[in-house]
Structure 1
Amino acid sequence: MPANELHFSSDFKDIITYCKENKLFLGAGNPNADILIIRKEAAIDMEKNKEQHETEYLDNVDQWEQNIQNNTQFEDVDCWFSLKPTFNPLYPYKGQRNVIESSPIKGKKRGEKGTSRTWRFYQKLIDAIYHDDVESSHINFHEYSFISELNQITAPYANKIPKKDRLVSIEKRKPLFEENFFQQFPIVIVAAGHYIRDFDINLCKLFKVEYDEQASKEFSEGLKNNWINVHYNRKGESPKLLIHTNQLSVNIEKELIKRLGEITKKSVLEQVILGKKLTNK
């Protein structure tokens, strides 16, 4: 749940330094959140949308440094639909309506000031966890989660990125997720589909969790094209839940979002009630 006032921890400052030294993209959203969402890569065409790529990716670490210097809070971020908005990774495109904005057809655009299909799925998930499934009027999931990427090479479609280049990027980013900042999230949702298998990403080793085969079968039962793999770390002072599931973009069943919400909400409530991360079972 978002804190009343954001604070930028020493672990967060350290990860910014690490990203700057290694020329890595960090991410966007609330660095104090309980939920970390890791996806495949962003759908930005680096050639046709050079300015967007520079703003959202190449400038990412510098923007976070400015946020720390200015102690930027959510309310300080410009609404994206103001006269001269400034992009900020703390709250990207703040003010978007919770509807899908489509490309103009015959000069008419649907869902004006709306969002993408993927971001709408993220919002549905956050609404299920924190808002009792009541649909938010605007996109606010950045207040409740931090989001990063397995691969920092962006493209409008995954098949536009050569597999070799993607593999190099993923391998370079693996150590990033072993840093303290990423390890401290009690809930990790890896919405990357079969990237985990295709690029030999060992989530158990990376996040120090164990795969629960029985629970995964139960949570996935009845889903047609979607699935939920759950992993736990119930040892020590920092128990963790890790969910690996489909990429939240297309062909996502309503039931998948419902179940992801239920599993994650249980962990969030345990954290609030017990005053710590996840409860040991």
Structure 2
Amino acid sequence: MYKESFKDLVNFAVIKSNNFYNNPENVNSPNPYFIGFGNPNAKILILGKEKGFDKNNLKQLEYESINNPREWDNYIKNNIGSNKNKFYDSENYINTFFPYLNKNKSGHTWNKYYTLLNHIYTSIPKSENEFFRYAFLSEINFIPSKYSEIKRFDNFERLNMLNNKFFKSFEIIILACGSYLEKEQIENIFSVSYYESILKKRENIHIYQNSNQILINTRQLSMDTSNDLLIKIAELTKNKL
């Protein structure tokens, strides 16, 4: 049900998370070993900048960050696959497969992800965030923020985790994080080589690849991201499926 690289990552993240939160100073801190949401067996990985909420919202932080590895661990150990059953007795949060239902505002990042994936696969239902079946979503920066507050990301622990085999196992990797990572970091973390760039104001596309994968590094996909950019990314990647 789950590939070995994902099981290994979850085990690693649970151990590291437990050690991290054993320190009382970290009790209400974002989890550097947050894994992500969606379908871990998908062929597409999308890595954004960071989760877009206030880190002082402790309930949301608990569901979406602190306990993320433990929730995945529960599904693996109990052989539970994709579902839409609430993991907690929560008002809105569902689970790591479908964190929320019907949360697709026009400028919201998830709406852009849906549109991009629909250009690749076509005919994905828009209701109940069905696009989560077609990709795995995570973030470069593990610290949530309503507004991006950094230009480069260099947290060693997080970058070391992103270097895990699981994050390299996707046919298509989309780094929708702008310049958070430098060229050398991208090449080293994802085992790809720079190929070429397509330059357009505020919509640059940097292409990396190896014999089995294509990686697209572009801007954060939200707000004023044009449909033309999403179509171009889809055109560049869909032949890898």
Counterparts of 1:33 and 1:70 in 2: how far apart (Å)? 20
- Computing the radius of gyration from Cα coordinates, the structure with the larger value is 1
Q: Which has the higher contact order (CA 8 A, sep 6+)?
A: 2
In the alignment, is residue 78 of structure 1 matched against residue 85 of structure 2? yes
Counterparts of 2:47 and 2:202 in 1: how far apart (Å)? 20
Structure 1 residues 83 and 151 mapped into 2: Cα distance closer, same or farther (>3 Å)? closer
1:15 paired residue among 9, 18, 21: 9
Counterparts of 2:180 and 2:230 in 1: how far apart (Å)? 20
Counterparts of 1:135 and 1:73 in 2: how far apart (Å)? 20
In the alignment, is residue 137 of structure 1 matched against residue 119 of structure 2? no
Structure 1 residues 54 and 128 mapped into 2: Cα distance closer, same or farther (>3 Å)? same
CA-CA distance at 1:64 after TM superposition? 0.5
Q: What residue is the counterpart of 2:158 in the other structure?
A: 173
Q: What residue is the counterpart of 2:205 in the other structure?
A: 228
**Is residue 98–residue 136 contact of structure 1 (8 Å, CA) maintained in 2?**
no
**Is residue 174–residue 216 contact of structure 2 (8 Å, CA) maintained in 1?**
yes
Which letter maps to 1:171? F
**Is residue 53–residue 146 contact of structure 2 (8 Å, CA) maintained in 1?**
yes
How do 1:58-207 residues align onto structure 2 when only pairs under 5 Å count?
Answer: 58-74=66-82, 76-78=83-85, 87-94=94-101, 96=102, 98-100=104-106, 117-131=108-122, 134=123, 136-138=125-127, 139-159=129-149, 167=153, 170-197=155-182, 202-207=185-190
**Is residue 86–residue 95 contact of structure 2 (8 Å, CA) maintained in 1?**
no
Deviation digits for residues 43-97 of structure 1 (CA, Å, limit 9, x no counterpart): 12121x21011111101011111111332233x32379x9976631112113x16
Structure 1 residues 263 and 61 mapped into 2: Cα distance closer, same or farther (>3 Å)? same
Gaps in structure 2 of 5+ consecutive residues = 18-32
Which letter maps to 2:202? N
Q: What residue is the counterpart of 1:263 in the other structure?
A: 236
Secondary structure at the aligned position of 2:181 is classed as helix
Counterparts of 2:184 and 2:51 in 1: how far apart (Å)? 18
Q: What residue is the counterpart of 1:44 in the other structure?
A: 53
CA-CA distance at 1:10 after TM superposition? 2.1
Structure 1 residues 156 and 83 mapped into 2: Cα distance closer, same or farther (>3 Å)? closer
* TM-score of the pair, normalised by structure 1: 0.72
Counterparts of 1:204 and 1:42 in 2: how far apart (Å)? 24
In the alignment, is residue 35 of structure 1 matched against residue 26 of structure 2? no
In the alignment, is residue 53 of structure 1 matched against residue 44 of structure 2? no
Give the root-mean-square deviation of aligned CA atoms. 2.5
Secondary structure at the aligned position of 1:157 is classed as coil
Gaps in structure 1 of 5+ consecutive residues = 1-6, 101-115, 269-281
Counterparts of 2:90 and 2:138 in 1: how far apart (Å)? 29
**Is residue 78–residue 86 contact of structure 1 (8 Å, CA) maintained in 2?**
no
Deviation digits for residues 9-59 of structure 1 (CA, Å, limit 9, x no counterpart): 222111011112222111111010111111111112121x21011111101
Secondary structure at the aligned position of 2:69 is classed as helix
Secondary structure at the aligned position of 1:196 is classed as coil
